[in-house]
Structure 1
């Protein structure tokens, strides 16, 4: 399995070690978990962004019709960039 060396300041490393000890896990597993959780959150955010964009594009006309005073004018009104 590929590995990665990461440099931390003395203070950061001490805090990470304390956290790992308090959780009863190794330093390696603590850091790996933090990174994999961040990656999962980024994937979920990207997926939700795609869903929201598709929903918005599909319902732009209905929103504009329901709230005409707030609708953009000109080319943007009907989805043109």
Structure 2
């Protein structure tokens, strides 16, 4: 396990109150809550990146199957408007 040196992250009193309440609502210590928050954000970003990549791979097939759903700005008109 890696350990980071103690970090001093400033919070306003109002922000800190909210963070403490959120930690308590999950039944976690403040330290565990903040750790899990960082890990969840990393996992969320990884999921969003994978989902976007998957959607990009299927976009052409979807656009062919549902041509009316393709945004007007992305439709291939084939000819220029007169």
Shift of the 11–49 alpha-carbon distance from structure 1 to 2, 3 Å rule, reads same
Residues in 1 aligned to 2:24 and 2:67: alpha-carbon distance in whole angstroms? 55
Q: Which runs of 5 or more residues in structure 1 are unaligned?
A: 75-81
1:9 matched to which residue of 2?
12
TM-score, normalised on structure 1?
0.65
Higher helix share: 1
Following TM superposition, the consecutive aligned residue runs of length 4 or more in structure 1 with deviations greater than 4 angstroms are none
CA RMSD for the aligned pairs? 2.7
1:46 matched to which residue of 2?
49
Q: Which runs of 5 or more residues in structure 2 are unaligned?
A: none
Q: How many residues align?
A: 71
Shift of the 52–23 alpha-carbon distance from structure 1 to 2, 3 Å rule, reads closer
Residues in 2 aligned to 1:42 and 1:14: alpha-carbon distance in whole angstroms? 27
Are 2:59 and 1:56 equivalent residues in the alignment? yes
